[in-house]
Amino acid sequence: MTVVSSAIALLLTALQLPALALLLARLLKGARRLPALTPQPPTVDLVGQVSVVVPTLNEAARIQPCLDGLTRQTYEVREVIVVDSRSTDGTGDRVKAQQQTDPRFRLMTDDPLPADWVGRPWALHNGFLASSVRSRWILGVDADTRPQPALVASLVQMADTKGYDLVSLAPQFILKGAAEWWLQPALLVTLLYRFGAAGADADNPERVMANGQCFLVRRSLLEQLDGYHCARQSFCDDVTLAREAARQGAKVGFWDGAKLLQVRMYDGVADLWEGWGRSLDLKDAATSAQKWGDLAFLLAVQGIPLLALVTFGCLLVAGIQTPVLWLAFGVNSLLVAMRFAFLAAILSAYDRQSRQGFWAYWLSPVADPVAVFRIFLSSIRTPKQWRGRVYGQSMDPSPADTR
């Protein structure tokens, strides 16, 4: 028993120590990251500089806060193009009602989905093509977001000042119920462990992170990229496009936007499990080696530590005490302590006005093995449907696609 447990502890420690060193290197970069974006008043030179594109498909139940938030943006927004993919739930009616009080809104229906495109990048591509050539910036905004006043002006000013060509924002999440507070932070940490904190630039294009919920791109860069064409088959089109832009020499940023952007992404833990897990592995934007390498890394620093800590602790209490077991216990104790400490560091990423079930947030490290398992499931599966569309192996929409 002693020999077997020591051999397992030695093997695990040999895998975890390099992963721990990599994790520390990524997290320490956060000390040099840009601070959270703060509200800034618009300036005259921003007049009409931004075209906003909002892709929609059956979003009537949650789009109103997004429409209201965009209406509160000032003269920097030239137009808001809502690209609707033939919704059947009254989404278009909500947009038409918004037009009555804000003429900047424009509702359009995108063309039928081509065989080799995913719905979201196709809608964004059509919105870009329909936008005014006088706008220097194209801002993609998802229907489930809640833009705060001065979001667009602050984002464009910072991008101009810092010389960025493409910037996306990490939002503040709105969660409801203990199950969401328990699972979602564990899923979010898988991204932070792999790509570091928002505001810290990536070392190379292959480690670029992005969030399509608020995605600002210079028109000239989108023209250079032929719109969203490079991300046409990607279920994580935001990361795919951002990495391609970085490879072509564009300056790409991913910033903390929690003070200016909120989002209520999913209703309930089942929706959260399905929606977040759909593309959390980012396989559409990475090589197979990167995908499996990241999964192994997460297993070592997030999926295993709590289980290993309990296991090795029990062995030590049972009297099986060897230097290797103590080393493994120490390494996993450090990883678990870091994980719990991380909860305080990311607290600003969550809206706490509604504290129903918030207590479960502090237990979210217990969900880490579940979160890593969800990424494994995503890694071995190709999405077959999303937002009512059903896709085949060749990305052809099936006959069930009503788009």
Q: What are phi and psi of 284, to 5 degrees?
A: -70, -15
pLDDT > 90? residue 12:
yes
Mean pLDDT estimate for the chain: 92
pTM: 0.92
pLDDT, one tens digit per residue, over 85-117 is: 999 999 999 999 999 999 999 999 999 999 999
Residue found under tokens 């929606």: 275
- Which residues neighbour 27 within 8 Å (Cβ) at sequence distance 6 or greater? 196, 197
Between CA 190 and CA 229 the distance in angstroms is 28
What's the pLDDT score for residue 200?
82
Please state the domain extents for the chain. Answer: 2-30+289-382, 36-171+211-267
What is the number of other CB atoms lying within 10 angstroms of the CB of residue 39? 12
Residue found under tokens 């079930």: 357
* 8 Å CB contact between 137 and 50: yes
pLDDT, one tens digit per residue, over 42-64 is: 999 999 999 999 999 999 999 99
pLDDT > 80? residue 291:
yes
Which is higher by pLDDT, 401 or 161? 161
* 8 Å CB contact between 75 and 50: no
Q: What is the second-level CATH architecture of the domain 36-171+211-267? A: Alpha-Beta Complex (3.90)
What's the pLDDT score for residue 287?
94
Burial 275-301 (b: 16+ CB within 10 A, else e): bbbbbbbbbbbbeeebbeebbebbbbb
pLDDT > 70? residue 400:
no
Between CA 211 and CA 171 the distance in angstroms is 9
What's the pLDDT score for residue 278?
82
pLDDT, one tens digit per residue, over 172-211 is: 999 999 999 999 999 999 999 999 888 888 889 999 999 9
Banded pLDDT at 30 (limits 50, 70, 90): confident
Pairing of strands 252-256, 166-170: parallel
Please provide the DSSP assignment of 299-314 as one string: IIIIISHHHHHHHHHH
pLDDT > 60? residue 246:
yes
Between CA 162 and CA 168 the distance in angstroms is 14
For the ranges 75-79, 111-115, 380-384, the maximum mean pLDDT occurs at: 75-79
Angle between helices 178-195 and 269-277 (to 10 degrees): 20
Which three-class secondary structure state does DSSP give residue 217? strand
Angle, CA of 230, 275 and 124, to the nearest 5°:
35
- 302-306: average pLDDT: 97
pLDDT > 90? residue 75:
yes
Residue found under tokens 């990599």: 22
What's the pLDDT score for residue 32?
80
Banded pLDDT at 128 (limits 50, 70, 90): very high
Give the rounded percent of residues in the chain with a pLDDT score beyond 90: 84
Banded pLDDT at 398 (limits 50, 70, 90): very low
Between CA 75 and CA 83 the distance in angstroms is 21
Between CA 153 and CA 32 the distance in angstroms is 24
165, burial (CB in 10 Å: exposed 0-12, middle 13-18, buried 19+): buried
pLDDT > 80? residue 388:
no
pLDDT, one tens digit per residue, over 344-376 is: 999 999 999 878 899 999 999 999 999 999 999
Between CA 79 and CA 132 the distance in angstroms is 8
Measured torsion, CA atoms of residues 32, 38, 44, 49, in degrees rounded to the nearest 10: 80
pLDDT > 50? residue 231:
yes
pLDDT > 80? residue 309:
yes
Banded pLDDT at 390 (limits 50, 70, 90): confident
Six-digit token string for 273 = 């499990």
Between CA 123 and CA 121 the distance in angstroms is 5
Which three-class secondary structure state does DSSP give residue 367? helix
- 216-231: average pLDDT: 98
What's the pLDDT score for residue 1?
66
What's the pLDDT score for residue 401?
36
